[in-house]
Amino acid sequence: MQIQEADGLVPIHHNPAPLRTRIIESMRSAIERGILKPGERLVEKDLCDRLGVSRTSLREALRELESEGIVASVTARGLTVVRLSYRDAENIYRIRADIEALIMEQFIERADDAALKTLLDLCDHTIACYEAGDFVPIVDAKRQLYLHLCTVAENMVAHEILSKLTLRTAQLRRGSVTRPARQEQSIREMRDLKAAIAARDVDGARRAARSHVESAARSALEFARTRSA
């Protein structure tokens, strides 16, 4: 079965990375982009057909996603994408605020001029994606931005944690980020963050990072309340 790329679960072609890793990346991308939704039952045969992998390989990947709390067995019918509780969402955003503030500090401490220039270019790209208003490019741009930040900061532990946390709030982020008012606010916040980093202002960058996450939390949690009303 041939799947178009927009489906979010494309067949796994040859790649030097372990097959399990590639399946997990494809599944995470599909969850993040809303292709696989919270509460949706994961049918192994369907996923195997869409990914072009064996059931054994798929089950290995699903076990890892289950250990991360991304999918769970909630009924006898099998695994589903986990629904995030309101309290868990609150906690995730609070943790993110602390981690992202730390990353900004470590980046400024370790970045040479070339790394700083790359970061500022990535900020500009992220702002342009916010201005265009499409969710997937925004998510992709921020993924590149934070990968660079964490790499230069020499804190890939933070990158791994942030990747898992943002994935768990994927549905809330999608509802929040696509709001025009939130996009405009995010553009201002990204410009503030860029200015602080460009000036190598550690305290300013920490405040800007925290403010960005706290604003994202307010918008996402408001979306959660609206959805559950």
pLDDT value of residue 147: 97
pLDDT value of residue 158: 97
Token pair of 109 as six digits: 């401490």
pLDDT value of residue 124: 98
Domain of residue 46: give its range: 5-81
pLDDT value of residue 223: 81
pLDDT, mean of each 10-residue run, the chain (229 residues): 46 67 90 86 92 93 90 81 91 97 98 98 97 90 96 97 90 83 95 98 98 94 75
91 and 170 share one domain:
yes
100 and 197 share one domain:
yes
pLDDT value of residue 229: 52
62 and 92 share one domain:
no
Provide φ and ψ at 73, rounded to 5°: -95, 105
97 and 188 share one domain:
yes
pLDDT value of residue 60: 92
Using alpha carbons only, how large is the chain's radius of gyration in Å? 18
The CATH number of whichever domain residue 121 belongs to comes to 1.20.120.530
174-190 burial, b at 16+ Cβ within 10 Å, e below that, comes to: bbbbebeebbebbbebb
The CATH number of whichever domain residue 49 belongs to comes to 1.10.10.10
6-44 burial, b at 16+ Cβ within 10 Å, e below that, comes to: eebbbebeeeeeebbebbbebbbbbbbbbbbeeeeebee
pLDDT value of residue 45: 93
Q: What is the Cα–Cα distance from 117 to 71, expressed in whole angstroms?
A: 38
